[in-house]
Chain A
Amino acid sequence: MSSKPKVAFFDFACCEGCQLQVANLEEEILVLAQMVDVVEFREVMTGAAPAYDIAFIEGSITRRADENRLKDIRNRSKLLVAYGQCAVSGGINKLKNRRPGMDEVKKEVYGDSAGMPHLDTYPTKAIDEIVAVDFYIPGCPVNREEFLWVVKELLLGKTPRLPNYPVCVNCKLQENACLFDFSIICLGPLARAGCGAVCPANGVACCACRGTVDNPNKNAMHEILLKYNYTVEEIKKKFDIFAVDPEVQSGKK
């Protein structure tokens, strides 16, 4: 057998949009395929291997039964990477945690089938709420180029460093009109860059699907919110979409 690193992809509760991003790498994935043995990848192949050099985990944990599967993967993996915001923070799956109880959520979504055993859902957890995570690739979905770069760095034995600067940097380089000029509140000044500012580039406010920079200036954001007559609660709701906790300092409106 070859001595190429064994790489596996697993998914939990998610839309599988992130693995689609990876599968869509096309050309680059062919090069990647020469460098590694992809031993599991449901979107493009099936198979099973006893151990992995790198396990990529997509999705969040929403059922008790999934915890064991995840722990088992962790035990068999040298490196475990959470990719996609579902895996990193719980992502949009965590929205349901804001509801009073799981019974109500289940009824609303599954109706009469809510009692089926495989629908036994509990409040959403991010991957690192169950097992140790060695590296995170944020975003909903992940950025393909960034994904590829992270894989490359890991294979070369380096520790990839995600951009620790705001989305505004990506935005300015494209010479987009700033949405604040149109009185649209954008989370770009706090959000972690690396996505190419795709949302503002298309006229849509950033809602920090990649989380925030290491040290976001929450007070500065608070001042701007006041200027635009926004409440902290309103902005918190925006951060809740992707289960990001910026700890925007609450206070007077």
Chain B
Amino acid sequence: MEILKISKEDFNSFIDEKRTASAPLEGPGDSISGHAEKWKTIGVVKKGANFVFAELNSAAELCLDYDVTVLPPKKYFLPPKETLLKFIPKKAESYAAVNHPGPIALIGVHHYDLAAIHLMDRAFSEGERDEHYMKRRENSVLIGIYPTKHYKYRFSSSVIRGQFRKAADIMLVAMNGFFVVEILTEKGKNYLQGAELQENDFSLADIEAAANKIKDDQKIPLPIELVPEFLEKNHDHSAWDYFGGKCFSCASCVLVCPTCYCFDVRDEVDLTLEAGKRVRTWDSCMLEDFALTGEGFNFRAGRGARFRHRIYRKGKHLFEKYGYFGCVGCGRCAGSCTAGIAGPVKVLKYMLEHKQ
């Protein structure tokens, strides 16, 4: 749409103004109550030795020069635990949806996480539309950034294309003291109103080079188009038992994955039996009880079967359904797996090296 630039200092003071100002009544920020609300401003900050997405108390906390965050930004659209509706037990007319997200801005989302959000948007809007997720998305502005730091497990270049631009409202490219600002949507444009934007005088070639400056160490060992069929043919590959035998079923790989969206829904009733709520929490196909049915039968009881299922979802099921590889190559699973086995690159390599 439009390419401009802003100095890093001006960007920070703009973010701080935004944090304390009221959001406009139209567009994102048009809350259900009709009252203007403050922009909840989320950015990447340091937590111990790692980076996380968290609400900013000041733009000074922002660390946009980061490798990867522990959890992806999906936690703001599909929270680990949320109340979907409240009710009074045995009173059908009392069921009332709980859904009033305020305006929220996410700053510093890497391109692979944006690609994942685009995939989640598809999953939650097509077919049975999920109002809880979609309302949050509608009320959000996503400010993306191209990675400026290397992460040893990242392989996004081999699995994502341009789809990240479908989720981003604004993309930033860090260039000595400035951010080149590419405005991709009306929402993004509205959000930036009042910012000290300047005319861009960097050449497109320089911007392109800066955006692609960080090269991945890893890549998927075969063209992604071939992965679904490859997996299909290798349903009984020894890899599943090999990796399954090393797996703790701890679900770290799934909790940190930006394209995992399995959840569980339960009703919680107060002790007094006078009030209840329907609660949705993250679930995970890697956990032993995920496929446990009411009668006590577990249709994916083996670790190997669960391990295969996860890889199939990333490399086959989601790909076939949405036309995008179900893994965006963030490398978080590989980095967070205590057993050191979760990364799709490692798994596919092993399968190729141990041809059946």
- Whether A217 lies near B247 (C-beta < 8 A) is yes
* Given A172-B256, A175-B50, A177-B50, A165:B272 Cβ within 8 A: no
What's the least CB distance linking A49 to chain B, in Å? 21
What's the least CB distance linking B56 to chain A, in Å? 16
Scan residues 202-238 of chain A and give those whose CB is less than 8 A from a CB of chain B: 213-217, 219-221, 223-224
- Whether B288 lies near A189 (C-beta < 8 A) is no
- Whether B50 lies near A166 (C-beta < 8 A) is no
- Whether B248 lies near A31 (C-beta < 8 A) is no
Judged by a CB distance under 8 angstroms, whether A152 is at the interface is yes
Judged by a CB distance under 8 angstroms, whether B185 is at the interface is no
- Whether A168 lies near B250 (C-beta < 8 A) is yes
- Whether A189 lies near B250 (C-beta < 8 A) is yes
Neighbouring A residues of B83 by C-beta, 8 Å: none
Neighbouring B residues of A169 by C-beta, 8 Å: 250-252, 255, 284, 287
What's the least CB distance linking B128 to chain A, in Å? 26
Which of A168, A175, A176, A221 has most chain B Cβ within 10 Å?
A: A175
Judged by a CB distance under 8 angstroms, whether B269 is at the interface is yes
Q: Which of A175, A189, A213 contacts B52 (CB 8 A)?
A: A175
Judged by a CB distance under 8 angstroms, whether B323 is at the interface is no
What's the least CB distance linking B55 to chain A, in Å? 13
- Whether B250 lies near A156 (C-beta < 8 A) is no
The CA-CA distance from A67 to B155 in the complex, in Å, is 62
Q: Which of B249, B287, B336 contacts A217 (CB 8 A)?
A: B249
- Cβ contacts B329-353/A at 8 Å (1 or 0 each): 0000000101100000000000000
Q: Which of A34, A165, A172 contacts B287 (CB 8 A)?
A: A165
- Cβ contacts A10-49/B at 8 Å (1 or 0 each): 0000000000000000000001101100000000000000
- Whether A31 lies near B250 (C-beta < 8 A) is no
* B47: nearest chain-A partner, CB-CB: A175
What's the least CB distance linking B62 to chain A, in Å? 17
- Whether A215 lies near B288 (C-beta < 8 A) is yes
* Given A175-B50, A177-B48, A224:B271 Cβ within 8 A: no
The CA-CA distance from A223 to B35 in the complex, in Å, is 57
- Whether A224 lies near B71 (C-beta < 8 A) is no
- Cβ contacts A121-152/B at 8 Å (1 or 0 each): 00000000000000000000000000000001
Q: Which of B48, B248, B271, B336 contacts A220 (CB 8 A)?
A: B248
Judged by a CB distance under 8 angstroms, whether A180 is at the interface is yes
What's the least CB distance linking A80 to chain B, in Å? 21
Judged by a CB distance under 8 angstroms, whether A190 is at the interface is yes
- Whether A172 lies near B271 (C-beta < 8 A) is no
- Whether A173 lies near B338 (C-beta < 8 A) is no
- Whether A180 lies near B50 (C-beta < 8 A) is no
* B301: nearest chain-A partner, CB-CB: A215
Judged by a CB distance under 8 angstroms, whether A119 is at the interface is no
* Given A172-B336, A175-B47, A35:B272 Cβ within 8 A: yes
Q: Which of B49, B69, B303 contacts A181 (CB 8 A)?
A: B49
Interface residues of B, count at CB 8 A = 32
The CA-CA distance from A223 to B243 in the complex, in Å, is 12
The CA-CA distance from A76 to B250 in the complex, in Å, is 41
- Whether B289 lies near A168 (C-beta < 8 A) is no
- Whether B248 lies near A217 (C-beta < 8 A) is yes
* A227: nearest chain-B partner, CB-CB: B340
Neighbouring A residues of B52 by C-beta, 8 Å: 175
The CA-CA distance from A34 to B133 in the complex, in Å, is 38
Scan residues 153-212 of chain A and give those whose CB is less than 8 A from a CB of chain B: 155-156, 164-166, 168-169, 172-173, 175-178, 180-181, 188-190
Neighbouring B residues of A35 by C-beta, 8 Å: 271-272
- Whether A224 lies near B70 (C-beta < 8 A) is no
What's the least CB distance linking A83 to chain B, in Å? 18
- Whether A220 lies near B247 (C-beta < 8 A) is yes
Neighbouring A residues of B289 by C-beta, 8 Å: 164-165
- Cβ contacts B235-262/A at 8 Å (1 or 0 each): 0000000000111111110011000000
* B80: nearest chain-A partner, CB-CB: A173
Neighbouring B residues of A189 by C-beta, 8 Å: 248, 250, 338-339
- Cβ contacts B126-145/A at 8 Å (1 or 0 each): 00000000000000000000
* Given A32-B271, A168-B252, A169-B251, A217:B303 Cβ within 8 A: yes
Neighbouring B residues of A32 by C-beta, 8 Å: 271
- Cβ contacts B271-289/A at 8 Å (1 or 0 each): 1110000000010100111
* Given A31-B271, A32-B271, A217-B303, A166:B250 Cβ within 8 A: yes
* Given A172-B255, A217-B248, A180:B338 Cβ within 8 A: yes
* B248: nearest chain-A partner, CB-CB: A189
A-B contact pairs, 7 of them (CB 8 A): A152-B271, A156-B271, A217-B245, A217-B247, A219-B245, A220-B247, A221-B248
Contacts A165-B287, A175-B71, A219-B246 known; list 7 others, CB within 8 Å.
Answer: A32-B271, A166-B251, A172-B70, A172-B252, A177-B47, A178-B338, A220-B246
Closest 5 CB pairs of A and B: A175-B70, A189-B248, A168-B250, A172-B255, A166-B250
